[in-house]
Structure 1
Amino acid sequence: MQVKSKIKELLKKFVKCKVPQNNWANMNVIVFGDSIVAGQELIREETPYRDVVYAKLAAYYLHAHKLENFAETGTGQFKGQHNLDRLAGWTHSFEGSIEYYKQEIKQADVALIAYGNNDWKQPNPDGSQHSLTEVKDKLRQNINHIRAINHHIQLVGVIETLAFRKHQPAWYLEGPNGFTYADMVAAYIVVYEEQNVAVFDIRDYHLGNHIDEYVDDRDHFTLAIHKQIAKSLTDFVKHGYQSPVQRFGETDKYIFTGNLFEDSKMRQELFAAIKSNAQQGKRAEILWFELSMVTADEIVDFIKVNDLPEDTKITNIYQYYAAPLRYDVELDDLTLVDNVLLNAHQIPFIKFDADMILRSLDGEKWSEPLTKSAFNDLWINHYVSLKDQIWTWQDGHYVKSK
């Protein structure tokens, strides 16, 4: 019986090694990270975060057998959590957690790695600094340590947050260790790609770009954003650990505020810019702001008739709000009833009041009235990330936005 059990275990590992796993059905998932994925019970949130963080929800959506969350507030690659370390008798850094949870790693099928924020904003426990080179070296060591314990584990590196300070993006802000947040994120991505670790970057899903997505105006997401990240992570796993950007390539985004189905100087210049940039291997996405009831088939015909590259993407602001987590080319059937816009499920999501627009916030209440211009700007600020190249209409031409 013991021999048979060992054979079954070997076969199980062989299958995992040979067959790509694009779901978590019946799998054991573990999480290493800081407070963002650990769950932060902050003053503006009543729900215990650890029960509703994106990793927990994604594990549920993907029918995982079990999720164990080893993330802890304030931790990183170079430090643990002082009070917790003292009580537990071991350091809750990434390295320390790997060693402590060695048995769980052996039994795991998937491990999420969600560190970085504290590597940027905190020095070492003794007050000394760590360099970007040390960040990379430490990450390589920790990845190799996990793989030495479990050769067959699927690793996923999570790039979680843009981070804000004083209501401004912290992207180019230098931390106490002498490097910017952007430098730290780039360092993590370099190592993940070098080590063949799947990279789940929430920026690829138009998340984390705006300050109102964070509960504390800094790093920690609201409950609604945790839910959206969970659905995005589910999409990522189901598509072979690739985001839409990884599957289809990054896009140059063109802001178009006119009627896309009527000829105009703006439209002519838009088409010319897209075709010119396509010759340089650039994929185009048109961000379109007019209320329209066009179908997916009409969009396909529009691209053909105007001789645009087949991979041109057209994203309409109202269609996006109707189904913000849709990653295919399907469009919702929108209906307008008494100045309220309904999606395909007949759920109201936009209300028009004279020259003002109201957004559905959570399915039960509406936002404060916004002008059309403010409504458009709000969407752009949420949708566009620092990874994107934006083209805007200026002085009769499309030009790159700085």
Structure 2
Amino acid sequence: MEVKSKVKKILGQWRHKKVQNDWTNKNVVVFGDSIVAGQELVREKTPYRDAVYAKLASYYLNAHKLENFAETGTGQFKGQHHLDHLTGWTHSFEGSIQHYHQEIKWADVVLIAYGNNDWKQPNPDGSLHTLDEVKVKLRENIQRIRLINHHVQLVGVLETLAFRKHKPAWHLEGPNGFTYQEMLSAFIDVYHECDVPIFDIRDYHLGNHMDEYVDDRDHFTLSIHKQIAKSLTDFVRHGYQSPTQRFGETIKFIFPDNLFEDSKMRQSLFGEIRKQSLQGKRAEILWFVLDKNYQANLDDLLSKNKLPTDLKITNIYQYYAAPLRYTSELDELSLKEGELFNSNNVPFIRFSKENQISVKDFDDNWSDAITSEQFNKLWLKHYISLKDQVYIWHNDQFGQVEPLEI
């Protein structure tokens, strides 16, 4: 027995010396609610736990094993009534930590994906919890995991924006007396305090629009799970940092005209960008014109106008050519018989004779045809998150607006 214990200890020490952001042959554990459990994917006739983003990302990252202990209806303050009664233990976050003590002990990575139910549900006995209690619970549960396993890599996941009555529930106060926004901020505060890296899907332009949720409320479609998995893979491979964390947040300027043609609007735009740069803020231009000489015109624009070197320019067609690209690399686009092709010679935009536009989604299905104006607005609603600072052209000047107003 003593020899076996020594072998286990040596193996454990060797295992934890490996690079933290390399999941190869690692054991990954997930704690969360129905979103990462994938409950609602049953409606799509999919074996849900095999299709959720955590499972797919662990496959892409060559993990040894993923154990998904997430359960529907659970949170930090409550378990799942039917399961609790059936198994004899409470499936809250704290209860799951206690029950899966041994699995945590041998885990290399633990993903924490709670929050939604802490906002929208009271405690099992009908009593309420405060925002401060949410923080205390999360802080204590993080400490519980670290006491079990000093070497484990924790990752906090901010995975969803809730919708109610077809509108974002961002400012909606739940039964416990705080808004969805305040709940999310509480989780962020504790993760920062406890030095837990945050995987925020908003940094990957995901989860911002209702059509990304299978029930128009909380749970992702299968296609979005696949995209989140790719994004989580990028996050891990870059040392638990998203593109936003690596390159900085951007203040987004929506430019409705042709960026390559001089105008009063463009001069005003460049003036605002220079002003933001002097304040140490990075700007991003979002615009909508399809230009066949994009790279050459972009190089010319940047060289002649002395714009900040960290300026980001995002064109709608370049984005849809490779939506999961996380660098400033551009595609060589080509238009053939009404279809726009990316650098890999794959069609991704289709133009109809009625000047309407269809987009190919992540599963290679074409969307319904819409007007160019609808196309532009829909992209903005997907691309811009509720944590962004956004400026639009109004009354002959650029002014800031709430993302919800777009």
Q: With structure 1 as the length reference, what TM-score do the two structures score?
A: 0.96
Corresponding residue SS for 1:188? helix
In the alignment, which residue of structure 1 is the partner of 2:344?
345
The one-letter code of the counterpart of 2:21 is N
Q: 1:378 to 1:22 in 2, by over 3 A?
A: same
Query: Is 1:27 matched up with 2:26?
Result: yes
Query: Is 1:110 matched up with 2:109?
Result: yes
In the alignment, which residue of structure 1 is the partner of 2:384?
384
In the alignment, which residue of structure 2 is the partner of 1:355?
355
| d(CA) in 1 for partners of 2:234, 2:48 | 22
In the alignment, which residue of structure 1 is the partner of 2:397?
397
Cα displacement string for residues 11-38 of structure 1 (whole angstroms, at most 9, x for unaligned residues): 415624xxx5222111000000000001
The one-letter code of the counterpart of 2:323 is P
Bigger drift between 111-120 and 248-257 goes to 248-257
8 Å contact kept, 1:304–1:310? no
In the alignment, which residue of structure 2 is the partner of 1:51?
50
- Which runs of no fewer than 5 residues in structure 2 stay unpaired? none
8 Å contact kept, 1:165–1:218? yes
| d(CA) in 1 for partners of 2:42, 2:236 | 32
8 Å contact kept, 1:211–1:217? yes
8 Å contact kept, 2:113–2:159? yes
Cα offset for 1:386?
Answer: 0.5
In the alignment, which residue of structure 1 is the partner of 2:305?
306
The one-letter code of the counterpart of 2:229 is A
Query: Is 1:134 matched up with 2:136?
Result: no
Corresponding residue SS for 2:91? coil
Alpha-carbon RMSD across the aligned residues, in angstroms, is: 1.6
Q: With structure 2 as the length reference, what TM-score do the two structures score?
A: 0.95
Corresponding residue SS for 1:260? coil
In the alignment, which residue of structure 1 is the partner of 2:200?
201
In the alignment, which residue of structure 2 is the partner of 1:321?
320
8 Å contact kept, 1:192–1:198? yes
Cα offset for 1:331?
Answer: 1.1
Cα displacement string for residues 64-102 of structure 1 (whole angstroms, at most 9, x for unaligned residues): 011000000000000000000111110000000000000
Cα offset for 1:361?
Answer: 3.4
Q: 1:153 to 1:96 in 2, by over 3 A?
A: same
In the alignment, which residue of structure 2 is the partner of 1:5?
7
| d(CA) in 2 for partners of 1:298, 1:26 | 47
| d(CA) in 2 for partners of 1:124, 1:6 | 41
Query: Is 1:280 matched up with 2:279?
Result: yes
Cα displacement string for residues 286-321 of structure 1 (whole angstroms, at most 9, x for unaligned residues): 101001244557635532331111110011101111
Cα displacement string for residues 104-160 of structure 1 (whole angstroms, at most 9, x for unaligned residues): 001100000000000000000000000011100000110000000000000000001
Bigger drift between 324-333 and 150-159 goes to 324-333
Q: 1:3 to 1:104 in 2, by over 3 A?
A: closer
Q: 1:224 to 1:10 in 2, by over 3 A?
A: closer
| d(CA) in 2 for partners of 1:329, 1:368 | 29
Q: How many residue pairs align between the two structures?
A: 399
The one-letter code of the counterpart of 1:5 is V
8 Å contact kept, 1:41–1:47? no
Q: 1:300 to 1:11 in 2, by over 3 A?
A: farther
In the alignment, which residue of structure 1 is the partner of 2:220?
221
The one-letter code of the counterpart of 2:373 is S
8 Å contact kept, 2:252–2:286? yes
Cα offset for 1:3?
Answer: 7.3
Cα offset for 1:43?
Answer: 6.4
Corresponding residue SS for 2:29? strand
Cα offset for 1:362?
Answer: 5.0
Corresponding residue SS for 2:44? coil
8 Å contact kept, 1:164–1:211? yes
Cα displacement string for residues 174-227 of structure 1 (whole angstroms, at most 9, x for unaligned residues): 000010011100000000000000100111111110000000010000000000
8 Å contact kept, 1:13–1:152? no
Corresponding residue SS for 2:97? helix
| d(CA) in 2 for partners of 1:100, 1:4 | 26
In the alignment, which residue of structure 1 is the partner of 2:367?
367
The one-letter code of the counterpart of 1:67 is L
In the alignment, which residue of structure 2 is the partner of 1:148?
147
Percent identity between the two aligned chains: 66
| d(CA) in 1 for partners of 2:181, 2:161 | 9
Cα displacement string for residues 249-307 of structure 1 (whole angstroms, at most 9, x for unaligned residues): 11100111222112111111111110011111110011010012445576355323311
The one-letter code of the counterpart of 1:157 is G
Cα offset for 1:396?
Answer: 1.9
Q: 1:293 to 1:234 in 2, by over 3 A?
A: farther
| d(CA) in 2 for partners of 1:153, 1:186 | 24
Cα offset for 1:357?
Answer: 1.0
| d(CA) in 2 for partners of 1:148, 1:3 | 20
Corresponding residue SS for 1:127? coil
| d(CA) in 1 for partners of 2:364, 2:139 | 47
8 Å contact kept, 2:41–2:221? no
User: Which stretches of structure 1, 4 residues or longer, exceed 6 Å deviation after superposition?
Assistant: none
Q: 1:149 to 1:4 in 2, by over 3 A?
A: closer
